[in-house]
Amino acid sequence: MSELTQHSCEACRAGAPTVSESEKLTLQKEVPDWEIVEVDGEEQLHKVFKLKNFAQAQAFTNKVGDLAESEDHHPAILLEYGKVTVNWWTHAIGGLHKNDFIMAAKTDAAYNEMQ
Protein backbone atom coordinates (compact mmCIF):
# COMPACT_ATOMS: atom_id res chain seq x y z
CA MET A 1 0.00 0.00 0.00
CA SER A 2 1.19 3.49 -0.82
CA GLU A 3 2.51 5.69 1.98
CA LEU A 4 0.33 8.42 0.53
CA THR A 5 -2.69 6.85 2.25
CA GLN A 6 -1.26 8.09 5.54
CA HIS A 7 -1.44 11.73 4.40
CA SER A 8 -4.38 14.11 4.42
CA CYS A 9 -5.20 16.70 1.81
CA GLU A 10 -3.90 20.16 2.53
CA ALA A 11 -5.95 23.25 1.84
CA CYS A 12 -5.38 24.38 -1.72
CA ARG A 13 -6.28 27.77 -3.12
CA ALA A 14 -6.53 29.21 -6.58
CA GLY A 15 -3.08 30.18 -7.78
CA ALA A 16 -1.29 27.39 -5.88
CA PRO A 17 1.26 25.68 -8.13
CA THR A 18 0.58 22.40 -9.84
CA VAL A 19 3.09 19.61 -9.15
CA SER A 20 6.36 19.93 -11.03
CA GLU A 21 7.40 17.29 -13.56
CA SER A 22 9.84 15.74 -11.07
CA GLU A 23 7.23 15.71 -8.30
CA LYS A 24 4.74 14.17 -10.69
CA LEU A 25 7.14 11.34 -11.59
CA THR A 26 7.88 10.65 -7.92
CA LEU A 27 4.24 10.72 -6.86
CA GLN A 28 3.07 8.62 -9.78
CA LYS A 29 5.34 5.79 -8.60
CA GLU A 30 3.07 5.60 -5.53
CA VAL A 31 -0.02 5.09 -7.73
CA PRO A 32 1.38 3.36 -10.83
CA ASP A 33 -1.97 2.10 -12.12
CA TRP A 34 -3.33 5.62 -12.51
CA GLU A 35 -2.96 7.24 -15.90
CA ILE A 36 -2.30 10.96 -16.33
CA VAL A 37 -4.71 12.24 -18.95
CA GLU A 38 -5.52 15.69 -20.26
CA VAL A 39 -9.17 16.74 -20.19
CA ASP A 40 -10.14 20.20 -21.42
CA GLY A 41 -6.51 21.29 -21.12
CA GLU A 42 -6.13 20.10 -17.51
CA GLU A 43 -4.07 17.13 -16.34
CA GLN A 44 -6.03 14.59 -14.32
CA LEU A 45 -5.37 11.22 -12.71
CA HIS A 46 -7.65 8.62 -14.34
CA LYS A 47 -8.44 5.02 -13.47
CA VAL A 48 -11.18 2.51 -14.27
CA PHE A 49 -12.12 0.05 -11.52
CA LYS A 50 -13.78 -3.27 -12.41
CA LEU A 51 -16.38 -4.72 -10.06
CA LYS A 52 -18.70 -7.74 -10.23
CA ASN A 53 -22.02 -5.97 -10.73
CA PHE A 54 -23.89 -2.70 -10.41
CA ALA A 55 -24.47 -3.06 -6.66
CA GLN A 56 -20.72 -3.45 -5.97
CA ALA A 57 -19.92 -0.58 -8.31
CA GLN A 58 -22.45 1.60 -6.51
CA ALA A 59 -21.07 0.62 -3.09
CA PHE A 60 -17.54 1.52 -4.27
CA THR A 61 -18.80 4.82 -5.69
CA ASN A 62 -20.32 5.61 -2.29
CA LYS A 63 -17.01 4.77 -0.55
CA VAL A 64 -15.15 7.13 -2.87
CA GLY A 65 -17.79 9.80 -2.31
CA ASP A 66 -17.51 9.46 1.47
CA LEU A 67 -13.71 9.59 1.24
CA ALA A 68 -13.90 12.71 -0.94
CA GLU A 69 -16.26 14.41 1.46
CA SER A 70 -14.06 13.57 4.46
CA GLU A 71 -11.01 15.14 2.76
CA ASP A 72 -13.00 18.00 1.14
CA HIS A 73 -11.53 17.05 -2.23
CA HIS A 74 -13.91 15.84 -4.91
CA PRO A 75 -13.38 13.78 -8.10
CA ALA A 76 -15.36 13.10 -11.21
CA ILE A 77 -16.96 9.66 -10.83
CA LEU A 78 -18.74 7.69 -13.54
CA LEU A 79 -20.80 4.74 -12.28
CA GLU A 80 -21.67 1.96 -14.74
CA TYR A 81 -22.61 -1.69 -14.49
CA GLY A 82 -19.54 -3.41 -13.00
CA LYS A 83 -17.30 -0.41 -13.59
CA VAL A 84 -16.42 2.88 -11.89
CA THR A 85 -14.24 5.51 -13.53
CA VAL A 86 -12.56 8.03 -11.22
CA ASN A 87 -10.70 11.19 -12.19
CA TRP A 88 -8.83 13.25 -9.60
CA TRP A 89 -7.52 16.75 -10.20
CA THR A 90 -7.57 20.03 -8.34
CA HIS A 91 -10.25 22.26 -9.79
CA ALA A 92 -8.92 25.42 -8.11
CA ILE A 93 -5.57 25.20 -9.93
CA GLY A 94 -6.70 23.47 -13.12
CA GLY A 95 -4.33 20.54 -12.81
CA LEU A 96 -2.57 18.12 -10.52
CA HIS A 97 -1.62 18.77 -6.90
CA LYS A 98 -0.15 16.37 -4.34
CA ASN A 99 -3.70 16.06 -2.95
CA ASP A 100 -4.77 14.24 -6.12
CA PHE A 101 -2.11 11.58 -5.68
CA ILE A 102 -3.08 11.19 -2.01
CA MET A 103 -6.70 10.67 -3.01
CA ALA A 104 -5.76 8.24 -5.79
CA ALA A 105 -3.87 6.13 -3.23
CA LYS A 106 -6.82 6.27 -0.84
CA THR A 107 -9.18 5.29 -3.67
CA ASP A 108 -6.98 2.26 -4.42
CA ALA A 109 -7.03 1.30 -0.73
CA ALA A 110 -10.84 1.56 -0.63
CA TYR A 111 -11.07 -0.65 -3.71
CA ASN A 112 -8.67 -3.21 -2.23
CA GLU A 113 -10.80 -3.38 0.92
CA MET A 114 -13.75 -4.44 -1.23
CA GLN A 115 -11.85 -7.27 -2.94
Residue 43: inside a domain: yes
Q: What are the pLDDT digits (tens) for 53-86?
A: 999 999 999 999 999 999 999 999 999 999 999 9
Cα separation, 71 vs 99, in Å, equals 9
What pLDDT shows up at residue 1? 59
The pTM for the full model equals 0.95
Residue 3: inside a domain: no
Look up the CATH number of the domain holding residue 56: 3.30.1360.20
Residue 10: inside a domain: no
Residue 39: inside a domain: yes
Residue-number span of the structural domain to which 101 is assigned: 19-114
Burial environment of residue 52 by CB neighbours within 10 A (0 to 12, 13 to 18, 19 or more): exposed
What pLDDT shows up at residue 94? 93
Give how many domains the chain has, as a whole number: 1
Residue 11: inside a domain: no
Q: Which one-letter amino acid corresponds to residue 46?
A: H
Residue 109: inside a domain: yes
